[in-house]
């Protein structure tokens, strides 16, 4: 479980680091960032995983998320992985919404993607093992959040792993990949044309089939130009209502899909997670 330190910077009394390691899941080198707030020697801290959206890397939220002050205040470790495997030997696509930068947090079964595009296994197994071995995390107190494609990832990973995450939130998540062009392209390309196999990667389908979260917070920008065609927030609202699941889904007037939106509400999400991750 070795890793290489790319950089470290002091911030809000803690350390913001960027690291890389050889991933068994993807068969490539992967880069991720971790913010560790100041803490007492020997203390174990709760961890919040943040999954980024299409075209992003770990750097987007690390540089623009404005989360560190809140994490320092509440004693939360913040981990931000990349969105896909990368490298000269990794297959890619000309479109921005498939291939490198668009792993969709699935384990691909179709060629040529199956060898490297195993972001589900990377996020669920590979990276947590590495983080647990190298940082002062309390793995009994995990939360997960994400944006857009990463919101889809956060929701589906939490729904598929009941009890693992004590808190789940999302920003402008792709609520139902089964029902939007981004999802249709990604899941058919990575998983194949059998749509029944897609359902484990669709939050609305998982909820309809009985998966539950103890609570959920979602923020969606009302001026998001992807809202109607791609994000389908109304489908998530219907799914949680039909299931009787506790959820707060907020439409934030005037906000778009950018990090201006995310950075505005990410500190509030950190506080919301912190309340649920108390020892």
The pLDDT tens digits of the residues spanning 120-132 come to 999 999 999 999 9
Query: What is residue 65's predicted lDDT score, i.e. its pLDDT?
Result: 98
**Cα 55–60–66 angle (5° rounding)?**
150
Active-site amino acid positions: 148, 224, 257
The pLDDT tens digits of the residues spanning 41-81 come to 999 999 999 999 999 999 999 999 999 999 999 999 999 99
- The CATH number for 3-278, chosen from 3.40.50.720, 3.40.640.10, 3.90.1150.10, 3.40.50.1820, is 3.40.50.1820
Query: What is residue 146's predicted lDDT score, i.e. its pLDDT?
Result: 98
- Which 8-state DSSP code applies to residue 180? S
Sequence-ordered strand ranges (E) for the chain: 4-11, 14-22, 29-36, 45-51, 77-81, 137-146, 167-171, 217-221, 248-252
What is the average per-residue pLDDT within 163-182?
98
Instruction: State the residue for tokens 């998966």.
Output: 211
φ and ψ at residue 130, rounded to 5 degrees? -65, -45
Query: What is residue 1's predicted lDDT score, i.e. its pLDDT?
Result: 76
Residues 268-278 as b or e (16 or more Cβ within 10 Å = b): ebbebbbebbe
The tokens describing 210, both together, are 């009985």
pTM of this prediction?
0.98
φ and ψ at residue 211, rounded to 5 degrees? -70, 145
């Amino acid at each position: 479980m070795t890793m290489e330190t790319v950089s470290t910077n002091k911030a809000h009394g803690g350390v913001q680091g960027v690291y890389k390691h050889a991933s068994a899941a993807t068969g490539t080198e992967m880069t991720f960032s971790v913010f560790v707030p100041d803490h007492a020697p020997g203390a174990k801290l709760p961890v919040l995983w943040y999954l980024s959206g299409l075209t992003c890397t770990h750097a987007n939220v690390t540089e623009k998320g404005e989360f560190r002050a809140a994490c320092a205040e509440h004693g939360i470790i913040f981990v931000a992985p990349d969105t896909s495997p990368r490298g000269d030997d990794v297959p890619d696509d000309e479109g921005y919404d498939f291939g490198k930068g668009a792993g969709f947090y699935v384990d691909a079964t179709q060629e040529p993607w199956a060898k490297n595009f195993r972001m589900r296994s990377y996020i669920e197994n590979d990276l947590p093992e590495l983080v647990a071995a190298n940082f002062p995390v309390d793995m009994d107190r995990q939360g997960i959040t994400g944006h857009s494609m990463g919101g889809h990832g956060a929701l589906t990973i939490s729904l598929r792993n009941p009890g693992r995450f004590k808190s789940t939130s999302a920003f402008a998540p792709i609520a139902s990949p089964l029902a939007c062009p981004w999802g249709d392209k990604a899941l058919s390309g990575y998983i194949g044309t059998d749509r029944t196999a897609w359902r484990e990667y669709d939050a609305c389908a998982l909820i309809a089939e009985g998966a539950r979260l103890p609570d959920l917070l979602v923020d969606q920008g009302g001026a998001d130009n992807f809202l109607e065609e791609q994000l389908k927030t109304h489908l998530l609202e219907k799914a949680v209502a039909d299931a009787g699941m506790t959820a707060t889904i907020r439409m934030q007037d005037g906000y778009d899909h950018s990090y201006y939106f995310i950075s505005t509400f990410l500190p509030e999400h950190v506080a919301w997670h912190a309340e649920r991750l108390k020892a």
